[in-house]
């Protein structure tokens, strides 16, 4: 009996503990992995918010030693990963904990890879390049959007190429994700908007991806519904714990969807843009979203109709062109309400940058699962529209 390999779908996920206060079980999980000396990765902003000190205290009170590394910039760089791995080895650590947004979490994944291989992180670019298991990894997200805490992606910036490269492997899926909405209460409205729209892009791209399937579709659609219904209210009321929990749940579900269905052209183009100009990833995604939706719409019309319905658009009796117009209008309205209205040219992108950006976007693995095949010219046109 033969079978169609293209019809198979796999689904990877960490052990997830979701809910207010879940971060407080960090020492318990570290001890379960046999930890004696924990390597804690974060960044200066999260440290300033007080979360790093809290985790250090929880670990030390449980009798564990802790070495903390916070030299992580907003788009984690190759030399930061290498410096962290060197400190990990020198300190003889045995478990990695990261608390922060996507940057510390991706940096922690990179540190684990380098610690177990003893080679440059640059050698692991691409899909399934990792041979040795990383140290046990426990992630505590402080933003609701990147979903690095549930995904099989690590995104690292290479300043020499002005390029963000992807490492995609189930070896970088953390062992445990402690998803605690309380930790996101120190985010300001702008970061809440950026990361919330990032999660929306994850969910939309995962749903229309050529790698989508029944295991990811339910997560993607529920994430779209939750973000559409709660993000604008949360940006207006950033301290509301109920809204925080809804967006944190959406971020988790979007992460489970895109980690397994992969993404599309928004992310391929955004990684190129973020590496080139060192901009917030969620902002890059937001600026490109409706332009990529317009480009992809003819290749996935039925799927985009379901996205529109998840965004509370009544599509009964509408033809494809009308659905596309309503969906784009709703995306633009949501972005405007949460304050993400800039154009690429306002961020310093010029027409002469587009060939460079497009070349790197086409090399990004996320482009492979975009529903519409993209040529270099196609990508250039979308960048031009977003200028």
Sorted by where each starts, the structural domains of the chain and their CATH numbers stand as 10-184 (3.40.50.1970), 187-386 (1.20.1090.10)
> For residue 2, what pLDDT is reported?
66
Q: How many CB atoms lie within 10 A of CB 342?
A: 13
> For residue 342, what pLDDT is reported?
87
The CA–CA distances, whole Å, from 336 to 225, 286, 296 equal 18, 10, 22
Q: How many CB atoms lie within 10 A of CB 3?
A: 7
Cα–Cα distance, 244 to 192 (Å, whole number): 9
Q: Which two tokens stand for residue 320?
A: 């494809």
Yes or no: say if 345 and 387 are a contact pair by the CB < 8 Å rule.
yes
Cα 177 → chain centroid: 14
Continuous segment of H or E residues that includes residue 68: strand 65-69
Cα–Cα distance, 156 to 199 (Å, whole number): 19
> For residue 275, what pLDDT is reported?
86
pLDDT along the chain (387 residues), means of 10: 75 97 98 98 96 98 98 96 98 98 97 98 95 97 94 94 91 97 93 95 98 97 98 96 97 97 96 87 93 98 98 98 98 96 91 95 94 96 95
> For residue 341, what pLDDT is reported?
87
Strand order in the sheet with 153-158: 126-127, 163-168, 153-158
Cα–Cα distance, 287 to 342 (Å, whole number): 7
The CA–CA distances, whole Å, from 165 to 106, 111, 137, 270, 334 equal 11, 15, 21, 11, 29
Name the one residue in this structure whose structure tokens are 């020492």. Answer: 27
Cα–Cα distance, 43 to 159 (Å, whole number): 19
Name the one residue in this structure whose structure tokens are 């300033």. Answer: 48
Name the one residue in this structure whose structure tokens are 């293209």. Answer: 6
The DSSP string of 280-320 is: -HHHHHHHHHHHHHHHHGGGSHHHHHHHHHHTT---TT--H
> For residue 7, what pLDDT is reported?
78
> For residue 325, what pLDDT is reported?
98
> For residue 1, what pLDDT is reported?
61
Cα–Cα distance, 237 to 199 (Å, whole number): 19
Cα–Cα distance, 133 to 94 (Å, whole number): 12
């Amino acid at each position: 009996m033969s079978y169609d390999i293209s019809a198979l779908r796999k689904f990877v996920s960490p052990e997830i503990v979701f809910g207010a206060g879940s971060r407080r079980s960090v020492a318990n999980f570290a001890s379960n992995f046999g930890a004696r000396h924990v390597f804690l990765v974060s960044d200066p902003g999260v440290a300033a918010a007080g979360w790093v000190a809290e985790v250090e205290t929880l670990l030390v009170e449980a009798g564990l030693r802790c070495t903390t590394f916070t030299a992580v910039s907003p788009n984690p760089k190759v030399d930061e990963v290498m410096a962290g791995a060197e400190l990990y080895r020198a300190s003889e650590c045995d478990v990695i904990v990261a608390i922060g947004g996507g940057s510390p979490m991706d940096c922690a994944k990179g540190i684990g890879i380098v610690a177990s291989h003893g080679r440059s992180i640059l050698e692991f670019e691409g899909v399934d390049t990792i041979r040795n298991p990383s140290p046990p990894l426990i992630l505590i997200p402080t933003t609701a959007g990147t979903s690095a805490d549930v995904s099989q992606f690590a995104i690292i910036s290479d300043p020499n190429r002005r390029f963000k490269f992807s490492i995609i492997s189930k070896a970088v899926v953390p062992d445990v994700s402690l998803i605690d909405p309380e930790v996101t209460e120190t985010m300001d409205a702008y970061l809440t908007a950026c990361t919330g729209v990032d999660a929306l892009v994850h969910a939309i791209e995962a749903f229309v991806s050529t790698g989508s399937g029944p295991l990811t579709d339910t997560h993607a659609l529920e994430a779209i519904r939750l973000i559409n219904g709660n993000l604008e209210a949360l940006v207006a009321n950033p301290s509301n714990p109920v809204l925080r929990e809804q967006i944190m749940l959406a971020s988790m579900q979007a992460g489970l969807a895109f980690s397994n269905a992969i993404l599309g052209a928004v992310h391929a183009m955004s990684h190129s843009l973020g590496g080139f100009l060192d901009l917030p990833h969620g902002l890059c995604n937001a600026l490109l979203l409706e332009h990529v939706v317009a480009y992809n719409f003819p290749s996935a019309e039925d799927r985009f109709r379901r996205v529109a319905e998840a965004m509370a658009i009544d599509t009964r009796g509408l033809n494809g062109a009308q659905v596309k117009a309503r969906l784009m209008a709703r995306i633009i309205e949501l972005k405007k309400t949460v304050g993400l209205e800039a154009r690429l040219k306002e961020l310093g992108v010029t027409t002469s940058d587009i060939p460079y950006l497009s070349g790197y976007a086409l090399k990004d693995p996320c482009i492979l699962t975009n529903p519409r095949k993209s040529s270099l010219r196609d990508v250039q046109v979308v960048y031009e529209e977003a200028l």
